[in-house]
Structure 1
Amino acid sequence: MKYFEEIMSERKNRIEARKDELIRRSLLSEEFLEMIQKNKRPFDLLMSYYQCAVMEIETKFRVLNQEYSLEYDKNPIEGIKTRIKSYDSIVRKIRRKNIPMSLTAIEENIKDIAGVRVICSFPEDIYELADSFLRQDDIVLIEKKDYIENPKPSGYRSLHLIVQVPIFLQKNKKMVNVEVQFRTIAMDFWASLEHKLRYKKDIPADQAQQLQEELLACAAQSAQLDNRMQEIRNQLVSRADKGNQS
């Protein structure tokens, strides 16, 4: 009987905690929407700055890819994806980081509203391309996180850069924060799958744990595949160079 009462009490506490969280989220969302309504034009303008910054970064990588193609007969970039954070994502970040509800605070504290993901052929291409990108004198590096050399506990691998890029307006220029992620095709495939599975709420705890272990094993296999493909590419390049020299 006591055990049953403890279970019911624990369940009641969880329900109450969930209610409080839902109410807090609702209030915050309403507060955020109210702030947006009062500052609609400035907010839309801020979002347009991020969109312009994304276009600037994307153009830089397309130019680099073209240069590599002409000079080295290779295309290190397999694809480029861009995004601007949704209202919901911005609200979640505000809540998680306890950011004041103002446009200035959002701009100063959320560095990844604008995002560019560069999908490369091989791991070495990632570092070579990132170095070429950062050598450009109008790019300011704010933060670098190398999850390829030091993967996350989940197995996630990627190179993340937070940079500032200038956008040129009618009367002045403005430095805008952009997050740039570099991944191989294998890294991107794994991250996409892990993201989809992470948000499935109806998975029992024991299955979720097993799934996480499977994903971690897949991440290790993905890293091995990247390394093997890199070695094959290096061997082909080495043979081609020897053939040209002879």
Structure 2
Amino acid sequence: MTEEEYVCFIQPYEDALKNIRVRVDVLNNDYRRKNQNYPIHHIQYRIKQKESIENKLDKNGYETSLDSARNYLTDVAGIRVICYFIRDIYAIVSLLKTQSDIVIIKESDYIANPKSNGYRSFHIVFGVPVYHTDGMEYYPVEIQLRTMSMDLWASMEHRICYKGEEKEQAVEEFKKYAIALRQMEDEMEEFL
């Protein structure tokens, strides 16, 4: 994949990402007007870099081509929505699911069913319509929704255990941290 091919390839993913970003912002603002608070603390977004696309395809045994990226990757465009409370996450997901022009491609509830290492988050991939001069096509955008404590845990775990050399002691400690943070979140949510 050349740099030129990559730039052309990601353009509709960037358009789909903008589309979802606007929807999330509108929902957050409307929620504020109606409920007198914001469910979202902040939003991060990104388009996967060329090297990252190629590495992921290679790691999963696919040819490192534009067709493979188009056919096998659902996270070229991604948004991370950081909420205050778990109930805010489910409220945002529910509101997004009511929008009739986007389609659910895949969803994973790692809040209700955490990964074995303690990771918690809600992942949902939407097919987002992108209108071109010659028609419309759906492009996937992955949304990860987390609370602030889930984001802290995932960021630190990624830095220490995933990107670095996996240290068995750190992995076990992070499982304990995940349990402690979950308990803290549950207790804080009782104040509402």
TM-score normalized by the length of structure 2? 0.94
Q: Distance between the aligned counterparts of 2:66 and 2:168, measured in 1?
A: 39
Q: Which residue number corresponds to residue 219 of structure 1? A: 178
Give distance in 1, aligned partners of 2:151 and 2:65: 34
Read off the aligned partner of 1:36 and give its amino acid letter.
Answer: T
Structure 1 SS opposite 2:130 = strand
Q: Which residue of 1 aligns with 2:12?
A: 49
Alignment of 1:147-226 (within 5 A): 147-198=110-161, 199-201=163-165, 208-226=167-185
Determine whether 1:82 maps to 2:45: yes
Q: Shift of residue 174 of structure 1?
A: 2.0
**Matching residue of 1:104:** 67
Question: Runs of 4+ in structure 1 displaced over 4 angstroms?
Answer: none
Alpha-carbon distance, 1:138 to partner: 1.1
Q: Quick one: which amino acid aligns to residue 149 of structure 1? A: A
| Greater C-alpha radius of gyration | 1
For 1:108 and 1:71, the matched residues in 2 are separated by 40
Deviation at 1:58, TM superposition (A): 0.8
* 1:101 CA displacement: 3.3
Cα distance, 1:62 vs structure 2: 0.4
Aligned length: 191
Listed as ranges, the gaps of 5+ residues in structure 2 are: none
* Distance (whole Å) between structure 1 residues aligned to residue 13 and residue 127 of structure 2: 11
Q: Secondary structure at the match of 1:112?
A: coil
Q: Tell me which residue corresponds to 2:2.
A: 36
Partners of 2:11 and 2:170 lie apart in 1 by 39
Unmatched segments (≥5 aa) in structure 1: 1-34, 234-246
- Compare the two structures and name the one with the higher helix fraction: 1
Q: Secondary structure at the match of 1:161?
A: strand
Specify the code of the residue in structure 2 equivalent to 1:224: Q
Q: Which residue of 2 aligns with 1:64?
A: 27
Give how far 1:137 is off. 0.7
The 10-residue stretch of structure 1 (83-92 or 120-129) with the greater mean CA deviation from structure 2: 83-92
Output the TM-score relative to the length of structure 1: 0.74
- Name the structure with the higher strand share: 2
Q: Deviations over 1:62-121 (max 9, x none)?
A: 000110111111210111100111222212211122112331221110111110011111
What is the root-mean-square deviation in Å for CA atoms of aligned residues?
Answer: 1.4
Corresponding position of 1:116: 79
One-letter amino acid of the counterpart of residue 133, structure 1: L
